[in-house]
């Protein structure tokens, strides 16, 4: 028997439950091969349908993210005449021009679908470009380039910058590089708050040692998240407005997962119990 999860109805049930005690961030994922050839209309209708169902149960999210780690675009299809027909910033200059226009059009269609139901959710664009922050100002400039092109050139009406941030990917774990978020925030005249839309830290030692200053343990996870929260709360107040810890992967020694670190079901003292302490202010 195959169990399926993730339908719109499942999301509506979970959102309604979450809204009883939490603020809600909803991330809409778009397949690389969308079944409807009229992509713009399909994206609009699908986004609208989800929002209507959430509104009907009084569970509208505070933030809606259009896609997941979208710096290369989404909804790709087969190459045609050397270019990819759908959105993205890859290929030759001619292809980049065509693809970026189409990509921005898809984003606008999704946003219009959301806005046709409600103007209350903030729109987030989520990329993995936060993993370049170890490059310092150069990494920050890469982030600015992506978001400014969508904002200034293509007039995509987003509200929040979402960044994946796995500092361990940079052969270390230097959280001080988050200070570059101030530079990004100021560049856009403080219009776009920033959310760490995905982060994590290994629970067990990976096969490759990243020379991290944190242990690969529950305590290491706690200290990493504690320090991350302190920087966002104390040094980046009003700039970094949220953090999402990725709970999707369980401990797996068969392959390296930089984000491995489940929140449940591994030890008597679960990582969830350890990590939630990071949000308290009564522990040094």
The model's pLDDT over 164-218, given as tens digits with 9 standing for 90+, comes to: 998 776 666 789 889 999 999 999 999 999 999 998 887 777 766 666 788 888 7
> Nearest 5 degrees, angle CA 39-CA 108-CA 77?
30
Going by C-beta distance under 8 Å and a sequence separation of 6 or more, which residues neighbour residue 97? none
Strands 25-28 and 63-66: parallel
Per-residue model confidence as pLDDT tens digits over 216-251: 887 888 888 889 989 998 999 889 988 887 765 445
- The mean predicted confidence, pLDDT, of the chain is 80
In angstroms, the CA 204 to CA 184 distance is 33
CA 151 – CA 174 distance, rounded (Å): 29
Give me the DSSP letters along 9-31: HHHHHHHHHHTTTS--EEEE---
Question: Which ranges constitute the DSSP H helices of 171-243?
Answer: 180-187, 218-230
Residue 241 lies in a domain: yes
Establish if 3 belongs to a structural domain.
no
7 domain-assigned: no
* Cα distance between residue 104 and residue 190, in whole Å: 22
pLDDT at 283 over 50: no
Q: Are 113 and 44 a contacting pair, CB within 8 Å? A: yes
Alpha-carbon distances, residue 130 vs 93, 98, 122, 168 (angstroms): 25, 26, 20, 12
Give CA–CA dist 86/267, Å, rounded: 45
Domain that holds residue 81: 21-279
| Residue 221 domain flag | yes
In-domain check, residue 206: yes
Coil/strand/helix, residue 240: strand
147 lies in some domain? yes
Give the contacts of 118 (CB within 8 A, at least 6 positions apart): 51, 55, 60
Work out the burial of residue 145: count CB atoms within 10 Å of its CB; fewer than 13 is exposed, 13-18 middle, 19 or more buried: exposed
Between the CA atoms of 280, 191, 15 and 30, what dihedral angle is there, to the nearest 10 degrees? -120
Please give the structure tokens belonging to residue 38. Answer: 């009229």
Is 13's pLDDT higher than 90?
A: yes
Residue % of the chain over a pLDDT of 90:
43
**What's the total number of domains in the chain?**
1
Query: How much of the chain, in percent, has pLDDT values that exceed 70?
Result: 71
Residue 112 dihedral angles phi and psi, to the nearest 5°: -65, -35
The answer as to whether 1 is a domain residue is no
Domain CATH code at residue 268: 3.20.20.80
- The answer to whether residue 12 sits within a structural domain is no
Instruction: Say what the pTM is.
Output: 0.84
């Amino acid at each position: 028997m195959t169990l399926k999860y993730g339908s719109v109805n499942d999301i509506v049930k979970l959102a309604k439950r979450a809204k009883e005690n939490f603020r809600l961030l909803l991330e809409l994922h778009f397949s690389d091969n969308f079944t409807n050839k009229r992509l713009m209309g399909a994206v609009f209708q699908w986004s609208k349908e989800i929002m209507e169902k959430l509104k009907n149960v009084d569970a509208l999210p505070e933030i809606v993210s259009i896609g997941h780690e979208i710096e290369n675009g989404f909804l790709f299809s087969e190459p045609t005449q050397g270019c990819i027909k759908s959105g993205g910033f890859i290929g030759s200059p001619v292809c980049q021009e065509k693809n970026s226009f189409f990509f921005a059009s898809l984003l606008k269609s999704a946003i219009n679908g959301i806005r046709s139901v409600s103007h209350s959710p903030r729109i987030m664009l989520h990329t993995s470009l936060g993993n370049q922050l170890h490059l310092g100002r150069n990494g920050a400039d890469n982030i600015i380039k992506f978001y400014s092109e969508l904002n200034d050139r293509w007039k995509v009406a987003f509200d929040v910058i979402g960044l994946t941030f796995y500092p361990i990917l940079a052969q270390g774990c230097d959280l001080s590089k988050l200070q570059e978020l101030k530079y990004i925030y100021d560049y856009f005249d403080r219009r776009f708050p920033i959310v760490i839309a995905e982060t994590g830290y290994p629970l067990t030692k990976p096969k490759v040692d990243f020379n991290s200053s944190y242990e690969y343990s529950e305590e290491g996870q706690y200290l990493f998240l504690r320090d991350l929260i302190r920087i966002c709360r104390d040094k980046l107040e009003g700039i970094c407005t949220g953090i999402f810890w990725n709970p999707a992967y369980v401990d797996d020694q068969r392959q390296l997962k930089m984000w491995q670190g489940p929140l449940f079901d591994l030890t008597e003292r679960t990582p969830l119990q350890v990590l939630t302490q990071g949000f308290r202010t009564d522990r040094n």
